[in-house]
Amino acid sequence: MHNVVDDVALLVDAGATFGLATVVSTFASAPRSPGSSMIVTGDGRVMGSVSGGCVDGAVFTACQYAQETGESTLEHFGVDDDTAFSVGLSCGGTIDVFVQPISVSNSAAMISLITSLRVDVPAVIATVVQHIDAGMLGKHVVLSAEAVLHCDSAPLEELVAVDARRALASGQTSVFTYPDQKVLIAPHTQAPRMLVFGANDFAGAVVKQGKQLGYRVSLIDARPAFTTASRFPAAHDVVVEWPHRYLEREISAGRIDSRTVVCVFTHDLKFDVPLLSTALRYHSILYVGAMGSRRTHEDRNRRLRESGVNESDIARLHSPIGLDLGARTPEEVAVSIAAEIIATRYKGSGAPLSAVDTPIHQDVSSSVASLCAL
* Neighbouring C-alpha atoms within 13 Å toward the C-beta of 1: 29
Compute φ and ψ for 164, nearest 5 degrees: -65, -40
Radius of gyration of the chain (CA): 23
**Residue 81 confidence class, pLDDT cut points 50, 70, 90:** very low
pLDDT of residue 356: 84
pLDDT at residue 368 is higher than 90: no
The three-state secondary structure class of 105 is helix
pLDDT of residue 6: 86
C-alpha torsion sign, points 311, 349, 341, 325: positive
* Neighbouring C-alpha atoms within 13 Å toward the C-beta of 363: 2
257-298 confidence digits (pLDDT tens): 989 999 999 988 899 999 999 999 999 999 999 999 999 999
C-alpha torsion sign, points 352, 354, 355, 358: positive
pLDDT of residue 92: 54
324-358 confidence digits (pLDDT tens): 999 999 999 999 999 999 999 989 989 898 888 77
The alpha-helical segments, DSSP class H, found in 119-180 are: 154-170
Indicate the helix (H) or strand (E) that contains 322.
none
pLDDT of residue 373: 35
pLDDT at residue 87 is higher than 60: no
pLDDT of residue 374: 35
pTM: 0.75
Comparison of pLDDT for 1 and 279, the residue scoring more? 279
Cα–Cα distance measured from residue 187 to residue 144, given in angstroms and rounded to the nearest whole number: 9
Would you say 239 and 219 are in contact if contact means Cβ atoms under 8 Å apart? Answer: yes
Cα–Cα distance measured from residue 47 to residue 20, given in angstroms and rounded to the nearest whole number: 10
pLDDT at residue 308 is higher than 70: yes
**Residue 31 confidence class, pLDDT cut points 50, 70, 90:** low
pLDDT at residue 36 is higher than 50: yes
The alpha-helical segments, DSSP class H, found in 5-132 are: 5-13, 56-69, 84-87, 108-118
